[in-house]
Amino acid sequence: MGRDAAKLAALKKNFEDAQAAAQTFVAPNQFAELAEENGAVGLNASTEEDSTQYFWSMPSNRLELWAYMESGRIAHPVAREFYKERDVVQEERRMRTDSNPIGAMVEQFLAAAYTAHPYRVPTVGWESEISQVNATEAAAFHAKYYVPANIVVAVVGDVKAADAMPMLTKYFGAIPAGPKPEPMATVEPVQFAEKSVVIRETTQPFYLEGYHKPDYRDPDDSVYDAITDIFSNGRTSRLYKALVRDQKIAADAEGFSGFPGEKFPGLFAFYGEPVPGHTPDEMREAIHKEIERLKTSDVTDQELAMFKTRARASLLRGLADNQGLAAQLAEYQTRYGDWRELFRKLDEIDRVSKTDVRRVANKIFVESNRTSARIEFTPPAQAAGQDAGGAK
Amino acid sequence: MKSARMEAGMKMQGMRMRTFLAQGIAVCVLLAPGAGAMGQNAAQTAPPAKTATKTPAQAQPWTKIAIPPLHDFKPEQPKRIELANGLVIFLQEDHELPFIDGSVRIRGGSREEPAGKVGLVSMYGAAWRTSGSAAKSGDELDAELAVKAASIETGGELAYTSVEWGSFQQDFDSVFGEAVDLLLHPAFKAEKLAMAQREMATGIARRNDDPGDIAERESAKLVYGAESPYARQAEYATVNAVTLDDLKAWHDRGVVPNNMIVSVVGDFDPAAMEAKLRNAFEPLARGAAMETAKIDIPAPKQGVYFVDKEDVDQSNVQIVGIGTERSNPDYYALSVMNEVFSGGFGSRVFQYVRTKLGLAYDVGGSYGADYDHPGVFRSEAGTKSATTVAATQAVLEEIGRLKTKPPTPEELKKAKDDVMNSFIFRYDTPEKTLNEQVTLAFYGYPPDFLEKYRDGIARVTAADVTRVANKYIDVSKLAILVVGNKTQINPPLTALGKVTELDITIPPPPAGAGQ
């Protein structure tokens, strides 16, 4: 038993020397710098449950430079300063989850809603996993998933396909091939009892609930979009009218499909943000009343018409934004194997009927399929002990 | 329209944006020459590999990639029309998609509202549209517009209020008609003011939940003064003090033609559109233009300020002072300085605090420049509680180095390239070109300000940057604000100086206010 202080110091010194030596081979951030010098804007990446994305915009005369750089970092990544970046990810977790009441609530909510499927795991990772993942594991993940068979590239802008395609083929074709990763085998078991999370802290109240639903390939996919629109889109939406305008209990309330993802069966979620003096229980009750109405009576012709017109307008308006359109095309190609599905979706939307909406509502909005999470405001312990009346 | 609060929470799960900066492309020798900033970082931890920093060009295959000249691109400028009554119109054709969008911008905003009624302009912006016009209630408008996938929205900002509308091209006449009716004949309703007040009250009750919100708000107060119109916040008392008559009076004061700029973009025939707009706005009689409030900018607060938040494990560090205005002749040099200091991934503060020290995910800053008042010079970092002092000192060191370490030729070139090569994205859509002209006209800037900006940036020298750094940067005049968990911050903040703790307790509503 015991520690050899001298030996530890020597090892520490060796380690630091090795780090310093490694540092001489590093030009930090050079990739991003090169992009920025060449006029890149919106350079970023996102990691989501269903996919990761790398995106930026460049002046059109830099198309080839972009193809060289983007294909290069996919084909031959070098995780320089991996462990420093890992520390940065821990800060990100502290910022978005640990120090953010709603972030923390959402994490607990998903962990409760899912028993087996990886949708229960936060994309940023649990603290102990961030602090233990190593560069070798990260490289293995990259090698397995970042293979051409698993990647879609989309370019939108002032380019001609005839010029761009040979260029893209040259650079992205050089990425080493690999087998498409095996599909996810885990299937979330059917939920048979309501689950709930109650957080008591000195934070303003909030209510969130979700119901398991099928993935994006379900024939009723557009019906869920209709319910989202009817429940949440603007001041004509049911939740706004009921909770915000008429009952005056919420500042904001919505229902939306596909949380936290759509590739696998996600949740149809609802939330309500109480105005001062009102409680998560009131949110829950009011939301359930609206759900019950959807299950027992038809939506109006006008509601359905609004949904369809807005879906078309929203698709068309999206065409004006190059980066947004590129993201959509890549997403549809990834999901359906054909980007044209983005436009065919409108036909599917046009076919949604009142009967569909009622049928789907009755299928998934049932108690045993529900998970809820709430924040109950609790005054700080000291304040409560001293003077319950003084706490705010 | 998810609330910002819900959005932030979902982001942590559903849409986690981040940057993969440590990853680079596989070029066996990545040690770049031309990387002054990098060389400087490497030099601090280890002897720089001299030979490597003289890497020959063939080690940088990307330099061999041809970059053809960008084809000539002159964005079409909007047509400007000034009516006899002083109203200014901008028209921008865009026939790519079958939509027409428009806006009326009205001088006078929250900085002009009385101190006892903070929140007035924000609630005016909310209740205006939800109340509706004399002919049509807000609820009726909602239903009518939703069927057309159209929108009419009103809003209140710092310097102006606005009516904005948008629709399919074929619905323009009816939607524009409703928008003009709302502009000229609003019918403010008590129940909609009450709804706006509830929404404000919700924001007030929740304003201390997120450390980032606290940091932004409290740091602005340190810069401009707690009661300054640029920093003050609404309270239950000021929100409850606002009456229906206040909304009506505000409206009558603002909605005069010589106080408004109208802009329209989209799929229309310009002559026909001009006729429609003249028809709608020419009959309006000129009135008294809204005076922009004269707002004193006090001497900056110095010192270390702290907000204790016991339920967090990270400190939000803000280092703030006064920035500048865009009309300042030094604006170009300050812009380049800003780029060197905090403009993106290659910038000094990012390289040092995030990349070299790994102390923060969120690190950045800007030497803020507003159109008609000084912006905020802000540097910020989010760091784990234990490294609060270290991260703060690191940012301060980097600010200090702006004066002592002039930009290297590489830094200067990079900073200017960043601005020049991405310049096209400032006007790559007709809508952006239009909005730029509206903003310039609103603040009384020349229409060619953007072109002048580009020329101005091109002329900036390293000596200019050093000169403005010495003229405008004074570390001793900055305020440091930390929002964090006192029990976890070790070494304590006293290592940075005498600490003033800020009380952010929310004043309760006045008795009997019925909140």
pLDDT in tens, B180-221: 999 999 999 999 999 999 999 999 999 998 899 999 999 999
pLDDT in tens, B125-158: 999 999 999 999 999 999 999 999 999 999 999 9
The C-alpha of A367 sits at a distance from chain B's nearest C-alpha, in angstroms, of 23
Does B416 score more than 80 pLDDT? yes
Where on the phi/psi map is residue A42: left (φ > 0), alpha (ψ -120 to 50), or beta? left
pLDDT in tens, B155-180: 999 999 999 999 999 999 999 999 99
Give the three-state DSSP class for B114.
coil
> Residue A261 has what pLDDT?
94
With CB atoms and an 8 Å threshold, state whether A233 touches B146. Answer: yes
With CB atoms and an 8 Å threshold, state whether B362 touches A77. Answer: no
Does B27 score more than 70 pLDDT? no
Nearest to B62 among A34, A97, A317 (CB): A34
Q: What chain A residue is nearest to B354 in terms of C-alpha separation?
A: A88
With CB atoms and an 8 Å threshold, state whether A36 touches B22. Answer: no
Average pLDDT rounded to a whole number, residues B326-334: 96
* Cα Rg of chain A, angstroms: 25
The C-alpha of A127 sits at a distance from chain B's nearest C-alpha, in angstroms, of 12
Does B53 score more than 50 pLDDT? no
Q: What chain B residue is nearest to A267 in terms of C-alpha separation?
A: B14
Does B493 score more than 70 pLDDT? yes
> Residue B50 has what pLDDT?
35
Give the residues across from B364 on adjacent strands.
B380
Average pLDDT rounded to a whole number, residues B259-264: 97
With CB atoms and an 8 Å threshold, state whether B198 touches A251. Answer: yes
Higher pLDDT, B510 or B512: B510
Beta-carbon contacts of residue B149 (< 8 Å; ≥ 6 apart): A306, A309, A310, A312, A313, A314, B167, B168
Nearest Cα residue to A73 out of B63, B30, B189: B30
Higher pLDDT, B260 or A21: B260
Matching fold, domains B80-281 and B303-501: yes
pLDDT above 70 as % of chain B: 88
Measured between beta carbons, the chain B residues lying within 8 angstroms of A78 are 23-26, 30
Nearest to A23 among B17, B46, B66 (CB): B46
The pair of three-digit structure tokens given for residue A381, joined into one six-digit string: 């312990």
With CB atoms and an 8 Å threshold, state whether A27 touches B142. Answer: no
> Residue B171 has what pLDDT?
98
Measured between beta carbons, the chain A residues lying within 8 angstroms of B123 are none
Nearest to A25 among B31, B47, B346 (CB): B31
> Residue B512 has what pLDDT?
58
Q: How many CB atoms lie within 10 A of CB B495?
A: 15
With CB atoms and an 8 Å threshold, state whether B97 touches A317. Answer: yes
Q: How many CB atoms lie within 10 A of CB A166?
A: 11
With CB atoms and an 8 Å threshold, state whether B515 touches A61. Answer: no
Average pLDDT rounded to a whole number, residues B354-363: 80
Query: Rounded to whole angstroms, what are the CA distances from A6 to A1, A2, A218, B115, B372?
Result: 15, 12, 65, 66, 63
Listed in order, the ranges of chain A carrying CATH 3.30.830.10 are 30-172, 195-390
pLDDT in tens, A85-113: 898 889 889 888 988 889 999 999 999 99
Report d(CA B431, CA B439) in Å as an integer: 12
Report d(CA B78, CA B429) in Å as an integer: 12
Average pLDDT rounded to a whole number, residues B262-283: 98
With CB atoms and an 8 Å threshold, state whether B48 touches A24. Answer: yes
pLDDT in tens, B382-413: 899 999 999 999 999 999 999 999 999 999 99
With CB atoms and an 8 Å threshold, state whether A49 touches B49. Answer: no
A299-317 burial, b for 16+ CB within 10 Å, e for fewer?
Answer: beeebbebbbbbbebeeee
Burial class (CB in 10 A: 0-12, 13-18, 19+), B72: exposed
Does A381 score more than 90 pLDDT? no
Q: What chain B residue is nearest to A121 in terms of C-alpha separation?
A: B13
> Residue B3 has what pLDDT?
54
> Quick one: pLDDT band at residue B499, thresholds 50, 70, 90?
very high
Report d(CA B112, CA B122) in Å as an integer: 12
Q: How many CB atoms lie within 10 A of CB B194?
A: 15
Give the position of tokens 């002329």. Answer: B459
Nearest to B16 among A46, A99, A251 (CB): A46
Beta-carbon contacts of residue B166 (< 8 Å; ≥ 6 apart): B99, B100, B101, B102, B150, B151, B175
Architecture (CATH level 2) of domain A30-172: 2-Layer Sandwich (3.30)
Measured between beta carbons, the chain B residues lying within 8 angstroms of A47 are 16, 18
The C-alpha of B206 sits at a distance from chain A's nearest C-alpha, in angstroms, of 6
Could you tell me how many residues make up chain A? Answer: 392
With CB atoms and an 8 Å threshold, state whether A79 touches B22. Answer: yes
Average pLDDT, chain A: 92
The pair of three-digit structure tokens given for residue B83, joined into one six-digit string: 């009516």
pLDDT in tens, A313-370: 999 999 989 999 999 999 999 999 999 999 999 999 999 999 999 999 999 999 999 9
Q: What chain B residue is nearest to A272 in terms of C-alpha separation?
A: B6
> Quick one: pLDDT band at residue A121, thresholds 50, 70, 90?
very high
> Quick one: pLDDT band at residue B6, thresholds 50, 70, 90?
low
Report CA torsion sign: A205, B205, A105, A232. Answer: positive
Nearest to B38 among A27, A275, A309 (CB): A27
With CB atoms and an 8 Å threshold, state whether B46 touches A24. Answer: yes
With CB atoms and an 8 Å threshold, state whether A102 touches B5. Answer: yes
Residue to mutate among A23, A24, A29, with most B CBs inside 10 A, is A29
The pair of three-digit structure tokens given for residue B321, joined into one six-digit string: 């002072």
> Residue B7 has what pLDDT?
57
Could you tell me how many residues make up chain B? Answer: 515
In chain B, where are the structural domains located? 80-281, 303-501
Query: Would you identify the CATH topology of the domain A195-390?
Result: Cytochrome Bc1 Complex; Chain A, domain 1 (3.30.830)
Burial class (CB in 10 A: 0-12, 13-18, 19+), B68: exposed
Residue to mutate among B18, B153, B506, with most A CBs inside 10 A, is B18
Q: What chain A residue is nearest to B505 in terms of C-alpha separation?
A: A392
Report d(CA B248, CA B181) in Å as an integer: 15
Q: What chain A residue is nearest to B146 in terms of C-alpha separation?
A: A306
Report d(CA A28, CA A26) in Å as an integer: 6
The C-alpha of B407 sits at a distance from chain A's nearest C-alpha, in angstroms, of 16
With CB atoms and an 8 Å threshold, state whether A31 touches B313. Answer: no
Report d(CA B60, CA B54) in Å as an integer: 12
In 3-state terms chain B splits into helix, strand, coil percentages (rounded to 5) of 45, 20, 35
Nearest to B354 among A24, A88, A105 (CB): A88
pLDDT in tens, A168-214: 999 999 999 999 999 999 999 999 999 999 999 888 999 999 999 99
Q: From the options 3.40.50.12780, 2.70.50.60, 3.30.830.10, 3.30.365.10, give the CATH code of B80-281.
A: 3.30.830.10
The C-alpha of B494 sits at a distance from chain A's nearest C-alpha, in angstroms, of 23
Nearest Cα residue to B41 out of B286, B349, B436, B328: B349
The pair of three-digit structure tokens given for residue B407, joined into one six-digit string: 């930009």
Average pLDDT, chain B: 87
The C-alpha of B84 sits at a distance from chain A's nearest C-alpha, in angstroms, of 35
With CB atoms and an 8 Å threshold, state whether B3 touches A251. Answer: yes
Does B95 score more than 60 pLDDT? yes
The C-alpha of B255 sits at a distance from chain A's nearest C-alpha, in angstroms, of 25
The C-alpha of B395 sits at a distance from chain A's nearest C-alpha, in angstroms, of 16
Whether residue A280 is preceded by a cis peptide bond, meaning omega within 30 degrees of 0, is no
Query: Would you identify the CATH topology of the domain B303-501?
Result: Cytochrome Bc1 Complex; Chain A, domain 1 (3.30.830)
> Quick one: pLDDT band at residue B515, thresholds 50, 70, 90?
very low
